[in-house]
Amino acid sequence: MGSREEKVRPIVFSGAQPTGQLTLGNYLGALSHWVAMQEDHDALFCVVDLHALTIRQEPEVLREQVLSLAALFLACGIDPEKSTVFVQSHVPAHAELAWLLSTFTQMGELERMTQFKDKALRHRQNVNAGLFTYPVLMAADILLYGTHRVPVGEDQKQHLELARDVALRFNNLYGPTFEIPEPFISKGGARVKDLQEPTKKMSKTAESELARVMLLDDAQAIMKKFKKAVTDSLAHIADDESGQPGVTNLLNIWGAATGRSMEEALAHFSHNQYGKLKVETAEAVIAILEPIGRRYRELNTDRSYLWEVLQAGAAKARERAEGMMVRVMDRIGLPLERQRFRG
Protein backbone atom coordinates (compact mmCIF):
# COMPACT_ATOMS: atom_id res chain seq x y z
CA MET A 1 0.00 0.00 0.00
CA GLY A 2 3.07 2.17 0.02
CA SER A 3 3.04 4.46 -2.97
CA ARG A 4 1.51 7.90 -2.84
CA GLU A 5 -0.44 7.30 -5.97
CA GLU A 6 -2.16 4.32 -4.40
CA LYS A 7 -3.23 6.32 -1.38
CA VAL A 8 -5.25 8.80 -3.40
CA ARG A 9 -7.06 6.29 -5.54
CA PRO A 10 -10.72 6.08 -4.56
CA ILE A 11 -11.73 2.82 -2.91
CA VAL A 12 -14.15 0.54 -4.66
CA PHE A 13 -15.85 -2.46 -3.03
CA SER A 14 -18.34 -4.89 -4.44
CA GLY A 15 -19.43 -8.48 -4.04
CA ALA A 16 -21.47 -11.30 -5.49
CA GLN A 17 -23.14 -14.30 -3.87
CA PRO A 18 -21.86 -17.81 -4.51
CA THR A 19 -25.34 -19.15 -5.19
CA GLY A 20 -25.36 -20.92 -8.52
CA GLN A 21 -23.63 -19.59 -11.58
CA LEU A 22 -23.58 -15.94 -12.51
CA THR A 23 -25.88 -14.57 -15.19
CA LEU A 24 -25.32 -12.11 -17.97
CA GLY A 25 -27.09 -9.60 -15.68
CA ASN A 26 -24.40 -10.01 -13.02
CA TYR A 27 -21.74 -9.41 -15.64
CA LEU A 28 -23.23 -6.40 -17.42
CA GLY A 29 -24.57 -4.82 -14.24
CA ALA A 30 -21.58 -5.41 -12.01
CA LEU A 31 -18.53 -7.49 -12.95
CA SER A 32 -17.76 -5.76 -16.23
CA HIS A 33 -17.53 -2.48 -14.27
CA TRP A 34 -15.36 -4.04 -11.58
CA VAL A 35 -12.89 -5.01 -14.26
CA ALA A 36 -12.80 -1.48 -15.66
CA MET A 37 -12.66 0.22 -12.25
CA GLN A 38 -9.73 -1.82 -10.92
CA GLU A 39 -7.51 0.17 -13.30
CA ASP A 40 -7.86 3.46 -11.44
CA HIS A 41 -9.31 2.47 -8.07
CA ASP A 42 -8.09 0.76 -4.96
CA ALA A 43 -10.40 -2.21 -5.51
CA LEU A 44 -11.75 -4.99 -3.27
CA PHE A 45 -13.99 -7.72 -4.65
CA CYS A 46 -15.59 -10.25 -2.41
CA VAL A 47 -17.32 -13.62 -2.68
CA VAL A 48 -20.06 -12.96 -0.13
CA ASP A 49 -20.59 -16.46 1.23
CA LEU A 50 -22.16 -15.26 4.50
CA HIS A 51 -24.91 -13.56 2.52
CA ALA A 52 -25.62 -16.82 0.70
CA LEU A 53 -26.55 -18.49 4.02
CA THR A 54 -29.85 -16.62 4.20
CA ILE A 55 -31.09 -19.37 1.89
CA ARG A 56 -30.43 -23.00 2.87
CA GLN A 57 -27.27 -24.29 1.15
CA GLU A 58 -25.75 -27.75 0.74
CA PRO A 59 -22.36 -27.55 2.50
CA GLU A 60 -20.41 -29.36 -0.24
CA VAL A 61 -22.06 -27.37 -2.99
CA LEU A 62 -21.49 -24.06 -1.21
CA ARG A 63 -17.80 -24.82 -0.63
CA GLU A 64 -17.39 -25.63 -4.29
CA GLN A 65 -19.31 -22.56 -5.46
CA VAL A 66 -17.22 -20.17 -3.37
CA LEU A 67 -14.10 -21.32 -5.19
CA SER A 68 -15.66 -21.46 -8.62
CA LEU A 69 -17.07 -17.96 -8.19
CA ALA A 70 -13.60 -16.72 -7.32
CA ALA A 71 -12.36 -18.42 -10.50
CA LEU A 72 -15.11 -16.70 -12.45
CA PHE A 73 -14.12 -13.28 -11.04
CA LEU A 74 -10.62 -13.87 -12.37
CA ALA A 75 -11.89 -15.25 -15.67
CA CYS A 76 -13.92 -12.07 -16.17
CA GLY A 77 -10.72 -10.06 -15.89
CA ILE A 78 -10.33 -9.23 -12.21
CA ASP A 79 -6.58 -9.17 -11.77
CA PRO A 80 -5.38 -10.18 -8.29
CA GLU A 81 -2.28 -8.03 -8.83
CA LYS A 82 -4.54 -4.98 -9.09
CA SER A 83 -7.47 -5.91 -6.87
CA THR A 84 -7.95 -7.57 -3.51
CA VAL A 85 -10.05 -10.68 -4.15
CA PHE A 86 -11.30 -12.52 -1.09
CA VAL A 87 -14.00 -14.55 0.61
CA GLN A 88 -16.22 -12.74 3.09
CA SER A 89 -16.11 -15.44 5.79
CA HIS A 90 -12.30 -15.24 5.82
CA VAL A 91 -12.55 -11.77 7.31
CA PRO A 92 -14.45 -12.03 10.62
CA ALA A 93 -14.78 -8.25 10.87
CA HIS A 94 -17.65 -8.35 8.36
CA ALA A 95 -19.88 -10.25 10.77
CA GLU A 96 -18.56 -8.28 13.75
CA LEU A 97 -19.30 -4.90 12.23
CA ALA A 98 -22.68 -6.13 11.00
CA TRP A 99 -23.69 -6.75 14.62
CA LEU A 100 -22.57 -3.31 15.70
CA LEU A 101 -24.35 -1.65 12.78
CA SER A 102 -27.55 -3.59 13.44
CA THR A 103 -27.89 -1.55 16.60
CA PHE A 104 -27.90 1.59 14.45
CA THR A 105 -30.49 0.27 11.99
CA GLN A 106 -34.20 0.58 12.55
CA MET A 107 -36.64 -2.30 12.06
CA GLY A 108 -38.77 -0.01 9.93
CA GLU A 109 -35.88 0.64 7.57
CA LEU A 110 -35.33 -3.07 7.04
CA GLU A 111 -39.04 -3.71 6.64
CA ARG A 112 -39.08 -1.34 3.69
CA MET A 113 -36.47 -3.30 1.72
CA THR A 114 -38.17 -4.60 -1.40
CA GLN A 115 -35.71 -7.46 -1.81
CA PHE A 116 -36.55 -8.73 1.67
CA LYS A 117 -40.25 -8.57 0.87
CA ASP A 118 -39.74 -10.47 -2.40
CA LYS A 119 -37.48 -13.12 -0.90
CA ALA A 120 -39.71 -13.59 2.13
CA LEU A 121 -42.55 -14.37 -0.26
CA ARG A 122 -40.46 -16.80 -2.30
CA HIS A 123 -39.01 -18.62 0.73
CA ARG A 124 -42.01 -18.63 3.03
CA GLN A 125 -40.81 -21.74 4.86
CA ASN A 126 -37.53 -20.05 5.86
CA VAL A 127 -37.98 -16.35 6.56
CA ASN A 128 -34.97 -16.24 8.88
CA ALA A 129 -33.64 -13.23 10.77
CA GLY A 130 -30.58 -13.22 8.52
CA LEU A 131 -32.73 -12.58 5.50
CA PHE A 132 -34.13 -9.58 7.33
CA THR A 133 -30.77 -8.19 8.48
CA TYR A 134 -29.00 -9.00 5.21
CA PRO A 135 -28.68 -5.30 4.23
CA VAL A 136 -26.87 -4.59 7.50
CA LEU A 137 -24.20 -7.16 6.62
CA MET A 138 -23.96 -5.55 3.22
CA ALA A 139 -23.51 -2.13 4.85
CA ALA A 140 -20.74 -3.62 6.99
CA ASP A 141 -19.00 -5.04 3.89
CA ILE A 142 -18.94 -1.63 2.31
CA LEU A 143 -18.24 0.57 5.32
CA LEU A 144 -15.40 -1.57 6.67
CA TYR A 145 -13.06 -0.43 3.94
CA GLY A 146 -13.85 3.28 3.72
CA THR A 147 -15.41 2.57 0.33
CA HIS A 148 -16.09 5.51 -1.98
CA ARG A 149 -17.84 3.71 -4.86
CA VAL A 150 -19.90 0.56 -5.09
CA PRO A 151 -20.52 -0.78 -8.59
CA VAL A 152 -23.80 -2.73 -8.53
CA GLY A 153 -26.91 -3.38 -10.59
CA GLU A 154 -30.08 -1.37 -10.07
CA ASP A 155 -31.54 -4.05 -7.76
CA GLN A 156 -28.99 -3.19 -5.03
CA LYS A 157 -29.69 0.54 -4.99
CA GLN A 158 -32.01 0.47 -2.01
CA HIS A 159 -29.49 -1.54 0.03
CA LEU A 160 -26.85 1.04 -0.74
CA GLU A 161 -29.09 3.86 0.37
CA LEU A 162 -29.48 2.07 3.68
CA ALA A 163 -25.69 1.72 4.01
CA ARG A 164 -25.37 5.46 3.46
CA ASP A 165 -28.08 6.27 6.02
CA VAL A 166 -26.50 4.04 8.65
CA ALA A 167 -23.05 5.53 8.02
CA LEU A 168 -24.42 9.06 8.31
CA ARG A 169 -26.27 8.21 11.51
CA PHE A 170 -23.15 6.75 13.08
CA ASN A 171 -21.01 9.71 11.97
CA ASN A 172 -23.54 12.14 13.40
CA LEU A 173 -23.40 10.40 16.75
CA TYR A 174 -19.68 9.72 17.04
CA GLY A 175 -17.93 12.03 14.61
CA PRO A 176 -16.59 11.25 11.14
CA THR A 177 -15.83 7.53 11.06
CA PHE A 178 -17.27 6.03 7.89
CA GLU A 179 -16.87 7.24 4.34
CA ILE A 180 -20.30 7.76 2.77
CA PRO A 181 -20.33 5.36 -0.20
CA GLU A 182 -21.70 6.31 -3.60
CA PRO A 183 -23.52 3.76 -5.73
CA PHE A 184 -22.04 3.28 -9.19
CA ILE A 185 -24.91 2.11 -11.37
CA SER A 186 -24.25 2.07 -15.08
CA LYS A 187 -26.79 3.30 -17.57
CA GLY A 188 -27.04 0.37 -19.93
CA GLY A 189 -26.31 -2.87 -18.14
CA ALA A 190 -27.73 -2.17 -14.70
CA ARG A 191 -31.12 -3.68 -15.41
CA VAL A 192 -30.79 -6.77 -17.54
CA LYS A 193 -34.23 -8.33 -17.78
CA ASP A 194 -35.52 -11.88 -17.94
CA LEU A 195 -35.66 -13.01 -21.58
CA GLN A 196 -39.03 -14.68 -21.09
CA GLU A 197 -40.68 -12.15 -18.77
CA PRO A 198 -38.90 -8.92 -19.66
CA THR A 199 -40.57 -6.86 -16.95
CA LYS A 200 -38.62 -8.85 -14.32
CA LYS A 201 -34.89 -8.72 -13.70
CA MET A 202 -32.78 -11.56 -15.10
CA SER A 203 -32.02 -13.70 -12.07
CA LYS A 204 -30.27 -16.95 -11.23
CA THR A 205 -33.48 -18.31 -9.81
CA ALA A 206 -35.92 -17.88 -12.71
CA GLU A 207 -37.75 -21.12 -13.39
CA SER A 208 -37.19 -21.31 -17.13
CA GLU A 209 -33.67 -21.95 -18.43
CA LEU A 210 -34.59 -19.81 -21.42
CA ALA A 211 -35.09 -16.81 -19.13
CA ARG A 212 -31.44 -16.24 -18.35
CA VAL A 213 -28.08 -16.40 -20.05
CA MET A 214 -25.45 -17.87 -17.77
CA LEU A 215 -21.85 -16.68 -18.01
CA LEU A 216 -20.71 -20.21 -18.84
CA ASP A 217 -23.37 -20.98 -21.47
CA ASP A 218 -21.91 -22.08 -24.78
CA ALA A 219 -22.48 -20.20 -28.02
CA GLN A 220 -25.25 -22.49 -29.15
CA ALA A 221 -27.22 -22.12 -25.92
CA ILE A 222 -26.82 -18.35 -25.99
CA MET A 223 -28.04 -18.09 -29.58
CA LYS A 224 -31.02 -20.30 -28.78
CA LYS A 225 -32.00 -18.26 -25.73
CA PHE A 226 -31.88 -14.96 -27.61
CA LYS A 227 -33.76 -16.39 -30.59
CA LYS A 228 -36.51 -17.49 -28.22
CA ALA A 229 -36.53 -14.22 -26.27
CA VAL A 230 -40.02 -12.80 -25.81
CA THR A 231 -40.66 -9.58 -27.75
CA ASP A 232 -44.09 -8.41 -28.92
CA SER A 233 -46.25 -8.20 -32.01
CA LEU A 234 -45.72 -4.51 -32.78
CA ALA A 235 -42.97 -5.31 -35.31
CA HIS A 236 -41.05 -2.08 -34.88
CA ILE A 237 -37.97 -1.24 -32.89
CA ALA A 238 -38.18 1.74 -30.55
CA ASP A 239 -37.06 2.59 -27.04
CA ASP A 240 -40.42 2.24 -25.33
CA GLU A 241 -39.66 0.56 -22.05
CA SER A 242 -43.23 0.22 -20.86
CA GLY A 243 -44.74 -0.68 -24.25
CA GLN A 244 -41.94 -2.90 -25.54
CA PRO A 245 -40.02 -4.28 -22.56
CA GLY A 246 -38.62 -7.26 -24.50
CA VAL A 247 -37.27 -5.12 -27.34
CA THR A 248 -35.84 -2.53 -24.93
CA ASN A 249 -34.08 -5.29 -23.03
CA LEU A 250 -32.41 -6.61 -26.19
CA LEU A 251 -31.37 -3.10 -27.23
CA ASN A 252 -29.97 -2.55 -23.78
CA ILE A 253 -28.04 -5.81 -23.78
CA TRP A 254 -26.64 -5.17 -27.26
CA GLY A 255 -25.61 -1.66 -26.18
CA ALA A 256 -23.98 -2.84 -22.95
CA ALA A 257 -22.21 -5.71 -24.72
CA THR A 258 -20.83 -3.51 -27.52
CA GLY A 259 -20.21 -0.35 -25.47
CA ARG A 260 -22.87 1.62 -27.34
CA SER A 261 -25.62 3.91 -26.02
CA MET A 262 -29.36 3.38 -26.40
CA GLU A 263 -29.44 6.04 -29.14
CA GLU A 264 -26.76 4.19 -31.05
CA ALA A 265 -28.59 0.91 -30.58
CA LEU A 266 -31.77 2.46 -31.97
CA ALA A 267 -29.97 3.98 -34.91
CA HIS A 268 -28.38 0.61 -35.65
CA PHE A 269 -31.58 -1.47 -35.50
CA SER A 270 -34.51 0.86 -36.10
CA HIS A 271 -35.18 -0.28 -39.68
CA ASN A 272 -34.68 -3.93 -38.98
CA GLN A 273 -36.77 -6.86 -37.88
CA TYR A 274 -36.67 -8.51 -34.50
CA GLY A 275 -34.75 -11.48 -35.94
CA LYS A 276 -31.70 -9.37 -36.67
CA LEU A 277 -31.84 -7.69 -33.26
CA LYS A 278 -31.92 -11.09 -31.57
CA VAL A 279 -29.11 -12.61 -33.60
CA GLU A 280 -26.79 -9.61 -33.34
CA THR A 281 -27.41 -9.34 -29.61
CA ALA A 282 -26.59 -13.03 -29.21
CA GLU A 283 -23.42 -12.58 -31.27
CA ALA A 284 -22.28 -9.62 -29.18
CA VAL A 285 -22.85 -11.60 -25.99
CA ILE A 286 -21.07 -14.69 -27.35
CA ALA A 287 -18.06 -12.53 -28.25
CA ILE A 288 -17.78 -11.53 -24.57
CA LEU A 289 -18.64 -14.81 -22.90
CA GLU A 290 -16.64 -17.24 -25.01
CA PRO A 291 -13.21 -16.07 -23.80
CA ILE A 292 -14.51 -15.84 -20.23
CA GLY A 293 -15.62 -19.48 -20.41
CA ARG A 294 -12.26 -20.54 -21.78
CA ARG A 295 -10.31 -18.76 -19.04
CA TYR A 296 -12.69 -20.06 -16.39
CA ARG A 297 -12.14 -23.68 -17.41
CA GLU A 298 -8.39 -23.22 -17.06
CA LEU A 299 -8.50 -21.35 -13.78
CA ASN A 300 -11.08 -23.48 -12.08
CA THR A 301 -8.90 -26.56 -12.32
CA ASP A 302 -5.93 -24.82 -10.68
CA ARG A 303 -7.23 -24.89 -7.13
CA SER A 304 -3.86 -24.29 -5.50
CA TYR A 305 -3.48 -21.02 -7.43
CA LEU A 306 -7.01 -19.98 -6.48
CA TRP A 307 -6.32 -20.66 -2.81
CA GLU A 308 -3.14 -18.64 -3.04
CA VAL A 309 -5.04 -15.68 -4.45
CA LEU A 310 -7.79 -15.95 -1.85
CA GLN A 311 -5.41 -16.31 1.06
CA ALA A 312 -3.37 -13.31 0.01
CA GLY A 313 -6.61 -11.34 -0.55
CA ALA A 314 -7.98 -12.28 2.87
CA ALA A 315 -4.75 -11.28 4.61
CA LYS A 316 -4.84 -7.84 2.99
CA ALA A 317 -8.54 -7.38 3.66
CA ARG A 318 -8.23 -8.49 7.30
CA GLU A 319 -5.55 -5.95 7.97
CA ARG A 320 -7.56 -3.11 6.47
CA ALA A 321 -10.74 -4.19 8.20
CA GLU A 322 -9.03 -4.38 11.57
CA GLY A 323 -8.09 -0.72 11.39
CA MET A 324 -11.73 0.24 10.95
CA MET A 325 -12.97 -2.18 13.64
CA VAL A 326 -10.60 -0.70 16.19
CA ARG A 327 -11.77 2.80 15.34
CA VAL A 328 -15.46 1.88 15.53
CA MET A 329 -15.13 -0.10 18.78
CA ASP A 330 -13.20 2.70 20.35
CA ARG A 331 -15.79 5.30 19.37
CA ILE A 332 -18.66 3.22 20.71
CA GLY A 333 -16.89 2.58 23.99
CA LEU A 334 -16.03 -1.10 23.70
CA PRO A 335 -12.80 -1.59 25.64
CA LEU A 336 -9.99 -2.61 23.31
CA GLU A 337 -7.71 -5.46 24.25
CA ARG A 338 -4.11 -4.36 24.34
CA GLN A 339 -3.04 -6.50 21.38
CA ARG A 340 -5.84 -5.02 19.34
CA PHE A 341 -5.02 -1.45 20.15
CA ARG A 342 -2.53 -0.28 17.62
CA GLY A 343 -3.24 3.43 17.79
Q: Which of 67, 87, 152, 288 binds ligand TYM (CB under 6 A)?
A: 152
Residues 5-64 that bind ligand TYM (CB under 6 A): 13-17, 25-26, 28-30, 48, 51
Nearest CA to 109 out of 52, 154, 158 is that of: 158
Q: Which is nearer to ligand TYM, 141 or 280 (CB)?
A: 141
Residue 317 near ligand TYM by CB under 6 A:
no
Binding residues for ligand TYM, total number by CB under 6 A: 26
Q: Min. distance of Cβ 262 from ligand TYM in angstroms?
A: 15
- Active-site position among 82, 157, 204, 316: 204
Residue 179 near ligand TYM by CB under 6 A:
no
* Rounded distance between C-alpha atoms, residue 143 and residue 148, angstroms: 9
Q: Which of 67, 76, 143, 153 binds ligand TYM (CB under 6 A)?
A: 153
Let me know: does 328 contact 177? Beta carbons within 8 Å.
yes
Nearest CA to 259 out of 336, 187, 161 is that of: 187
Residue 156 near ligand TYM by CB under 6 A:
yes
* Rounded distance between C-alpha atoms, residue 57 and residue 48, angstroms: 13
CA dihedral sign, ordered 143, 145, 147, 153: negative
* Rounded distance between C-alpha atoms, residue 249 and residue 193, angstroms: 6
Let me know: does 241 contact 268? Beta carbons within 8 Å.
no
> Is residue 201 annotated as part of the catalytic site, yes or no?
yes
Among the listed ranges 2-10, 117-125, 137-145, 216-224, the one in contact with ligand TYM (CB under 6 A) is: 137-145
Q: Which of 42, 141, 179, 280 binds ligand TYM (CB under 6 A)?
A: 141
* Rounded distance between C-alpha atoms, residue 213 and residue 225, angstroms: 7
Length, in residues, of the chain: 343
- 214 forms beta bridges with 23
Name the residues that contact ligand TYM, by CB under 6 A.
Answer: 13-17, 25-26, 28-30, 48, 51, 138, 141-142, 150, 152-153, 155-156, 189-192, 201-202
Catalytic residues: 119, 201, 204
